[in-house]
Amino acid sequence: MKVLFIGCGSIGKRHIVNIRQLFKSDVEILAYRTFAKSRHLHEDFFDEYSIQQYDSLNKALSQRPEVTFITNPTSLHIPAAIKAAYSGSHLFIEKPLSNDLKGIAKLEQLVKKKKLTTFVAFNFRFLPILVTINRVIATKEIGDILSIRAEVGQYLPEWHPHEDYSKNYSAIKSLGGGVILDLIHEIDYTRWLLGGDEIQEVFCYSSKFSKLNIETEDIAEILMRTKKAVVSIHLDYLQHPSTRICQIIGTKGKALIDIQSNTGKVFDHYGGITEFHPNSYFEMNFTYQDELKYFFDCVKKRKRTIIDITEGKKVLELALAVKKSARLSKPIKINNNLLTLDIE
């Protein structure tokens, strides 16, 4: 199989390394590198992983890659994905799908017409503890969900200490940075845990409070309401040491999740406690490998993925509604079609 990478930053390189580890020489890797001035950088990496480089996207696509990985900055995802889809390439798109809704309807129509497999890379869907707790919820062990409270805090300069954080997309508004889109996993997985009880209204307060050299919000408090439950999400670029936790309250008990350690506990109303430690040895990179294996299997079998472009769009729509609420300082009601939202 021949695959093309559009964007070779940290996440692109992670996927390249994992593809080589998982599939060895069965996959031929091509790369389109956007910035000519950086072409000389990291040449050892491209040599080590036997990657053929192109400075023209048209030339790269003329090689007929079966799969294209969209791993460039968020604001550039959709134009690149449309070009790749026109060539007949299946699409693996890093989360979030985009930073706005422009072009997504066109992309949806195109992939449907060409019968392409698409996947938006929310790797937390493959986190063992979240998969385990999702099953606990589905079997009603803690009853009906009443409340979900999620929190993530990570000090931005420590994400990639070898890079200047202020030049990373996380810090730049035009590239889709800021905690709401950057830390969108929490919006995705809480929606997933709700199991079809769709969000009806959102409210958010966000701002930049720190002295970090960034253009974007560094903290956000989000409230989301469904017909049966309330969800609260805290996001920040400020905490160190980092934290990533979730609490789910149901009518028959509650669950506590520590995402970083991949562990959880379930409490029932009678004082019983069940501890979960899926995978005694765990690295977050396993989730990236599992999503790759899943995606390539779906491509091979021409199956729809669990979070294709249509599902990825729904998560993005929620995030954009959250951003709109923060901008207008008022709740935003959610209906079945958010495509008319005018959100920056």
Specify the CATH class of 125-279+315-333 in words: alpha beta
Q: Where, residue-wise, is CATH 3.30.360.10 in the chain?
A: 125-279+315-333
Q: Where are the beta strands (DSSP E) in 230-280?
A: 230-236, 243-250, 253-258, 263-268, 273-276
| pLDDT of 33 | 83
Q: What is the pLDDT along the chain (344 residues), one digit of tens a residue?
A: 999 999 998 999 999 999 999 998 899 999 998 654 455 556 789 999 999 999 999 999 999 999 999 999 999 999 999 999 999 999 999 999 999 999 999 999 999 999 999 999 999 999 999 999 999 999 999 999 999 999 999 999 998 888 899 998 899 999 889 999 999 999 999 999 999 899 999 999 999 999 999 999 999 999 999 999 999 999 999 999 999 999 999 999 999 999 999 999 999 988 899 999 877 788 999 999 999 999 999 999 999 999 999 999 999 999 999 999 999 999 999 975 544 444 44
| pLDDT of 34 | 66
188 and 198 in contact (C-beta within 8 Å)?
no
Report the largest interatomic distance among the alpha carbons of the chain, rounded to a whole angstrom.
64
Structure tokens at 344: 């920056």
| 43 CB-contact burial (10 Å; exposed 0-12 / middle 13-18 / buried 19+) | exposed
| pLDDT of 42 | 67
What is 2-116's CATH superfamily?
Answer: NAD(P)-binding Rossmann-like Domain (3.40.50.720)
Cα–Cα distances (Å) from 244 to 69, 126, 159, 186, in that order, read 27, 16, 14, 9
200 and 239 in contact (C-beta within 8 Å)?
no
In this structure, are strands 230-236 and 219-226 parallel, antiparallel, or unpaired? Answer: antiparallel
| 240 CB-contact burial (10 Å; exposed 0-12 / middle 13-18 / buried 19+) | exposed
DSSP 87-134: TT-EEEEESSS-SS-TTHHHHHHHHHHHT--EEEE-GGGG-HHHHHHH
CA 26 from centre of chain: 27
| pLDDT of 38 | 54
| pLDDT of 339 | 44
- Residue 303's contacts (CB-CB under 8 Å, 6 or more residues apart) are 117, 297
Q: Where, residue-wise, is CATH 3.40.50.720 in the chain?
A: 2-116
